[in-house]
């Protein structure tokens, strides 16, 4: 078989690794086979077909465009229905210019199906201020304190948060919630992941049970075969549970959900955290290849030990902030979602995942450094470090044993 390589745009674009699958599907289409057999250039605009390939903005690089799928509108619609949206409700779709366009469109279409009245609130993605790349912090600075944006969101029944980082820890959040708006952060994930992690209503009861256990506990202890031994006084900590949707005025949730966590008070966390190969660093969106030992004294990481690339990069990233608060504990907790998969990071290109799924893997322990309002610490530096195989006890009762949820949480 001879191929007509000369000038067909798709053949040039097929040099892109990402585009290969899209090309193959197109080439296998009967209509295209026909043109190829006769070595004709097809009359349809192949490089612009939705869901396949088109030149990037610069024209020099191929990019893959996601295509709207009815099943993804269904998924968004299910989540909005769980949020108890009613026909006629005013809903702000909050996004920024670097938001994932398909999720913004899916939100709008799903709201239309429900008969809600949607309004797009779009802000330009602001200039970077951090000395390093920032990933999945939940602390968007997209709104920049803009009062018209806050007012539009605050006057809505629901805010669908599609900012890149998410508004969970944004400074404008209290003002948005004050008037009774609720906010659902749709994590910056590919809709394929969101579809797979459409919340199971059964999760709500289990997360609420875990929330009560953590809220009522005094001491959390975390151990692992790799050598982790951490003690957290959780008395008076700010506790939160997320099952993936929100119904009450002034409440916040994120999709995907399925975790319980707390922000401990100042001076309550001490011990040793040993991140083993296979554990994850979600700031880097990477599974650890080499062990890292974090020494934690009175909330602060005081040593990052390990000779491999993971320890080296963590030391450098911590140091780049030039801010002691970046070493403090942000939150501790564990995952509750049986649909969340540990290997998820391996299944998506980095730009297609925000790693929320790994925070929610049932029975994983999540340790995070960075901002903690309960302890009065504010910083943009943030590590989310989910770990496998840990045992988590609350006042000596195991809620997670060897990475498995226990009792009524299982
Ligand atoms: Fe976090």
CATH of residue 126's domain is 3.40.50.980
Instruction: Please report whether residue 195 resides in a domain.
Output: no
CA of 383 to the centre of ligand 1 (A): 7
Q: Which residues contact 10 (CB under 8 A, 6 or more apart)?
A: 23, 26, 27, 46, 47, 53
Same domain, 313 and 395: yes
Instruction: Please report whether residue 398 resides in a domain.
Output: yes
CA of 27 to the centre of ligand 1 (A): 43
CA of 372 to the centre of ligand 1 (A): 10
Same domain, 297 and 236: yes
- Asked whether the predicted pLDDT for residue 48 surpasses 50, the reply is no
Instruction: Please report whether residue 176 resides in a domain.
Output: yes
Same domain, 126 and 217: no
Same domain, 313 and 397: yes
Same domain, 48 and 74: no
Domain boundary among 154, 188, 222: 188
Same domain, 47 and 99: no
Q: For residue 64, name the pLDDT band (cuts at 50, 70, 90).
A: low
Q: Which of 358, 350, 361 is nearest to 404 (CA)?
A: 361
Cβ neighbours of 124 (radius 10 Å): 10
CA of 250 to the centre of ligand 1 (A): 21
Does residue 209 contact residue 409 with C-beta atoms inside 8 Å?
yes
pLDDT tens-place string over residues 305-332 = 999 999 999 999 999 999 999 999 999 9
Confidence at residue 141, expressed as pLDDT on a 0 to 100 scale: 94
Rounded to whole angstroms, the Cα distance separating 103 from 162 reads: 7
Same domain, 393 and 297: yes
For range 274-297, the mean pLDDT: 98
The tally of domains found in the chain comes to 3
Which residues are 270's β-sheet partners? 231
CA of 382 to the centre of ligand 1 (A): 7
CA of 283 to the centre of ligand 1 (A): 9
- Asked whether the predicted pLDDT for residue 265 surpasses 70, the reply is yes
Q: Which residues place a Cβ less than 5 A from the ion ligand 1?
A: 368, 384
Instruction: Please report whether residue 65 resides in a domain.
Output: no
Confidence at residue 136, expressed as pLDDT on a 0 to 100 scale: 84
Instruction: Please report whether residue 98 resides in a domain.
Output: yes
CA 409 to chain centre: 23
For range 125-137, the mean pLDDT: 93
CA of 208 to the centre of ligand 1 (A): 20
Same domain, 294 and 157: no
Q: What percentage of the chain reaches a pLDDT higher than 90?
A: 81
Does residue 364 contact residue 399 with C-beta atoms inside 8 Å?
no
CA of 356 to the centre of ligand 1 (A): 9
For range 285-295, the mean pLDDT: 98
CA of 120 to the centre of ligand 1 (A): 27
Confidence at residue 61, expressed as pLDDT on a 0 to 100 scale: 55
Instruction: Please report whether residue 17 resides in a domain.
Output: yes
Does residue 400 contact residue 392 with C-beta atoms inside 8 Å?
yes
Same domain, 246 and 352: yes
**Structural domain containing residue 245:** 200-409
Q: Output the six-digit token pair for 49.
A: 């077909």
CA of 127 to the centre of ligand 1 (A): 22
Same domain, 211 and 180: no
- Asked whether the predicted pLDDT for residue 19 surpasses 50, the reply is no
For range 257-282, the mean pLDDT: 98
Same domain, 167 and 311: no
Confidence at residue 57, expressed as pLDDT on a 0 to 100 scale: 46
Q: Output the six-digit token pair for 363.
A: 């029975």
Same domain, 291 and 156: no
Cβ neighbours of 293 (radius 10 Å): 16
Instruction: Please report whether residue 61 resides in a domain.
Output: no
pLDDT tens-place string over residues 217-231 = 999 999 999 999 999
CA of 168 to the centre of ligand 1 (A): 10
pLDDT tens-place string over residues 155-168 = 999 999 999 999 99
For range 21-41, the mean pLDDT: 44
Instruction: Please report whether residue 101 resides in a domain.
Output: yes
């Amino acid at each position: 078989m001879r191929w007509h390589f000369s000038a067909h745009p798709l053949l040039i674009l097929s040099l892109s690794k990402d585009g290969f699958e899209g090309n193959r599907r197109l080439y296998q289409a009967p209509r295209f086979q026909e043109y190829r057999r006769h070595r004709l250039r097809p009359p349809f605009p192949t490089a612009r077909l939705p869901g396949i390939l088109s030149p990037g903005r610069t024209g020099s690089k191929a990019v893959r465009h996601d295509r709207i799928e009815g099943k993804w509108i269904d998924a968004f619609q299910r989540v909005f229905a769980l949020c108890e949206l009613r026909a006629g409700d005013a809903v702000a779709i909050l996004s920024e210019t670097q938001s994932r366009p398909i999720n913004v469109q899916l939100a709008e279409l799903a709201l239309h199906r429900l008969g809600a009245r949607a309004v797009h609130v779009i802000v330009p993605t602001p200039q970077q201020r951090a000395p390093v790349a920032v990933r999945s912090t939940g602390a968007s600075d997209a709104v920049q304190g803009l009062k018209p944006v806050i007012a539009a969101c605050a006057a809505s029944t629901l805010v669908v948060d599609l900012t890149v980082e998410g508004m969970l820890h944004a400074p404008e959040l209290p003002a948005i919630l004050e008037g009774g708006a609720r906010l659902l952060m749709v994590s910056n994930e590919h809709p394929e992941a969101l579809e797979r992690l459409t919340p199971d209503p059964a999760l709500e009861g289990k997360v609420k049970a875990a929330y009560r256990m953590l809220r009522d506990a005094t001491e959390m202890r975390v151990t692992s075969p790799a050598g982790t031994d951490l003690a957290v006084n959780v008395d008076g900590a700010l506790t939160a549970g997320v099952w993936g949707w929100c119904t009450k005025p002034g409440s916040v949730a994120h999709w995907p959900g399925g975790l319980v966590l707390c922000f401990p008070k100042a001076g309550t966390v001490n011990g040793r955290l040993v991140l083993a190969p296979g554990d994850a660093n979600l700031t880097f969106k990477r599974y650890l290849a080499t062990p890292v030992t974090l020494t934690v004294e009175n909330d602060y990481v005081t040593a990052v030990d390990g000779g491999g690339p993971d320890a080296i990069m963590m030391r450098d990233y911590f140091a780049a902030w030039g801010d002691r608060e970046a070493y403090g504990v942000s939150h501790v907790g564990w995952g509750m979602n049986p649909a969340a998969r540990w290997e998820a990071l391996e299944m998506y290109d980095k730009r297609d995942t925000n790693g929320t799924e790994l925070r929610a893997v049932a029975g994983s322990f999540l340790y995070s450094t960075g901002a903690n309002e309960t302890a009065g610490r504010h910083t943009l530096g943030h590590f989310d470090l989910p770990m496998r195989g840990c045992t988590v006890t609350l006042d000596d009762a195991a809620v997670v044993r060897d990475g498995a949820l226990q009792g009524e949480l299982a």
